[in-house]
Structure 1
C-alpha cells in the first residue's frame, strides 16, 4: 500500500487532479505566487473545515471531505451572485501513525480526532486516501470551472482544510451584474428561499447515531449533510433579475449555513441595528418528509429542528413583493417563507422566535 511520506508526493497528487493551465490563471502553481486573470471587481470568501469540529472521518469519506470543503465556499459566491473563478487550498495533514481518540457522538460534531480515518481499509497516510480526497474536490471544481491556483501544506494534529475562493460578476445583456449582499431589506419585503432547509441537520443527527447506515433510512438528509449543492446558478439568476429592476439595491441574499433561526436576522440586518424583524408562516407540511419521519421516530418537533438546522446552503433572500412574480418566472422553485416587518421580535407562525442556531463558540 503506497504511503505519502513527503510534500512532493502531495504536490504530485494535486497535479494529477487539478490542471496547472487554466483560463483564469496567467501563471499557475509552482512559483511563490500565482498570477490570476481577474475581472475589475471580485467577490472573495474563505472557510475552514476542521476534523472534529465540522466533520468526522468515521462517516465522511475522503471524497466527501474534499467535496464539501470546496462546496461551502462556492455557496458563499452563490450568495453574492458571482461566477466562480478560482480558489487556493491550505491543507493540514495529521501524521499517518497518530494515536487518535474517538469522539463521543453524543456531544455532536465537536470533539476530538477521529479514529476511523480510512477508505476501504486505506488509512489517511496512503495514496488511495488522498487520491479520493482530491478527486472529490476536483469533481466540484470541474463542474464550476474553477482553478486551483496554489496554497500551502503542513503537518497538524488533525485534518483541516482551509479554502479561499473568488469569483467575478455575472454577465447580462446590459453588462456586468452587481454583486448581491445582505441588509437591504425594508418592512413589507418578502422573505424567500430556493432550496431545502433543515435536511442537513437531520442528516448530521442520523449519521451521528447510525453511521453510514443512516443512508438507508434518510438518503436525502445524509446527502444534504455530506454533499451539499452550492446553488451557484440560482445566485447568478437572482443577481441578473435584480439588476434588470434597476434603482437602489433591493434584493438581499445569503446562503443558509447556520440555520434559518440564526441567519434570517442577519439577512435583514437585525445585528446591525436595522430595527427590522422577520415574520414567518411555515406550515408543518412545508417540512421535508425525511425531517418529519426522523423527528417522529425520535420524539422531536419537526419544524423546530428544521429552522434550527444549519449547513443546508440553500439561498435565502428578501425582495419587494412586486418582484416576486418575476423572480418565480426566473426560478420556479422559489418559496415564500414570510415577510419583513418593523420591530425586534422575530415571529414564527404567530409565536415569538429566538434567533438561535449554530454558533462556533457557543
Structure 2
C-alpha cells in the first residue's frame, strides 16, 4: 500500500513535467491566479474527465488517461479553428494514489501539451474517492481573425467530416468486454478510444479558408453524428423536435467502404448495421462541418482526411443512405 498523497508531493510531481515559465504566460503558477498573454480574442472551453464515467483505470494506463483528458479539450479548440496556448488542471485524487501512476499521468499530459505549445497555467487539487479531472483551456483565434462556430449552415451547403467515425465506440465496447486484451484484436479501435488525436491542423486550415469566404460551420463529434449533426443544423436557434422537426435538414451518404475495417468487422460479428453503429458512435473527436459548395474542391485538396458526406436541405429531417435517422439519438450522459 503506497503512502497517502500530500499536496506538496502532488505539486512537486507536477512541477517536474510542467515548467513555470512559458511563452504564453506573463505569470505562471504559484500565485492565486496566472496571467496569460492575450493580444487578441480568446476561445475558452472546459471539460470533465471522471473515473468510471469517462474512463476506467482497469484498462486505461495513466499515460492514456493523461493524454485523453487534455486531448478532448484540444479538440474543442480544433472545432473553433483556434490554436490552444494555455490550460488549467483541477485534479481530485484518492488519498492512496500511487505516485508512479501520477508521474506517468503528468508525463503523458505534458508531452501532448508540449507538442501543441500549451502552457499549464494553474489549477487545484483535492482528495476524492475516485480520480476527477477538470480542465479549462484557452486558445487564440487564427491570425485571419476567423472564429469557426456551429452556426451558419444554410440549404445547399456541403456537409463534411474530418477523421474516423464509430471507431472509438468499437474500442469502448471491446475494452469494456475484454479489458486490455482487446488491444490484440482491435488495435485501431482501442487506440481511438484511449488516445484520440485532436484535429488541430485541420481546424486551423478551415479557419484560414474562411478568411476570404463565408466561414465553414464546425464542431467536434463527441456524441455521434446522429446527435451532433442536429446540433450543427440547429445552432442558429431553431429547436429540434422529434415530433415536429423544423428545417434545415440534411441528406447524408455514408457508404460502408468509408468506415474503418474494425468498425465493419465489429458490426458483422454482432450482426449489426455498421453505418448505424458509426452514426451513434461517441468520442470520435472527428470534426463535422458544412461549407459553401464553391469551397468544397479547395477544402478536399487542402485538408487531409476531409470527406464530403452530404448536403444541408431546406426540408426538415435527416436522411442517411435514404433512411430517416429519427430513431437514432447518439450518446447522452443522462440517458440511463
Q: How does 1:136-151 map to 2 (within 5 A)?
A: 136-151=108-123
Aligned residue number for residue 266 of structure 2: 294
Contact 1:4 1:10 in 2 (8 A): no
Does residue 23 in structure 1 map to residue 23 in structure 2?
A: yes
SS in 2 for 1:221: helix
Q: CA–CA distance in 2 between the matches of 1:133 and 1:303?
A: 35
Taking the aligned partners of 2:264 and 2:255, their CA distance within structure 1 comes to: 12
Equivalent-residue separation in structure 1 for 2:272 and 2:95 (angstroms): 40
Contact 1:90/1:152 (<8 A) preserved: yes
CA distance in 2, matches of 1:215, 1:319: 37
Equivalent position of 1:267 in the other structure:
232
- Separation of aligned partners in 1, 2:259 and 2:299: 22
The TM-score normalised by the length of structure 1 is 0.88
What residue in structure 1 maps to residue 275 of structure 2? 303
Cα shift at 1:299: 2.1
Stretch of structure 1 that moved more, 34-43 or 264-273: 264-273
Deviations 1:292-315 (A, max 9, x none): 111111222211111100101111
Partner residue of 1:359?
Answer: 332
State the partner residue of 2:310.
Answer: 338
Aligned to 2:175: 207
Measured in 2, the distance between the counterparts of 1:38 and 1:270 equals: 28
**1:192 and 2:157 aligned:** no
SS at match of 1:229: coil
CA distance in 1, matches of 2:118, 2:321: 42
Q: Do 2:202 and 2:304's aligned partners in 1 also have CA atoms closer than 8 Å?
A: no
In terms of mean alpha carbon deviation, does 335-344 or 199-208 score higher?
335-344
**How many Å apart are 1:270 and its aligned residue?**
6.3
Q: 1: CA distance between counterparts of 2:136 and 2:317? A: 35
Shift of 1:230: 0.6
- In the TM superposition, what is the alpha-carbon distance from 1:332 to its structure 2 partner? 4.1
1:81-110 superposed Cα distances (whole Å, 9 cap, x missing partner): 0011100001011232xxxxxxxxxxxxxx
| Structure 1 outlier segments of 4+, above 3 Å | 1-4
What is the number of equivalent residue pairs in this alignment?
Answer: 327
CA contact (8 A) 1:265 1:271 kept: no
Distance 1:299 1:361 in 2: 27
Q: What is the deviation of 1:139? A: 1.1
The residue aligned with 2:47 is 47
* Partner residue in 1 for 2:94: 94
Aligned residue among 204, 208, 222 for 1:236: 204
User: What is residue 76 of structure 1 aligned with on the other side?
Assistant: 76
1:281, distance to aligned residue in structure 2 (A)? 1.0
Unaligned runs of at least 5 residues, structure 1? 97-124
> How far has the Cα of 1:347 moved from its partner?
0.7
Contact 2:34–2:122, Cα closer than 8 Å, also in 1 = yes
Alpha-carbon spacing, 1:267–1:260, altered in 2? closer, same or farther (3 Å): same
**1:48-67, aligned counterparts within 5 Å?**
48-67=48-67
| Structure-2 residue corresponding to 1:258 | 223
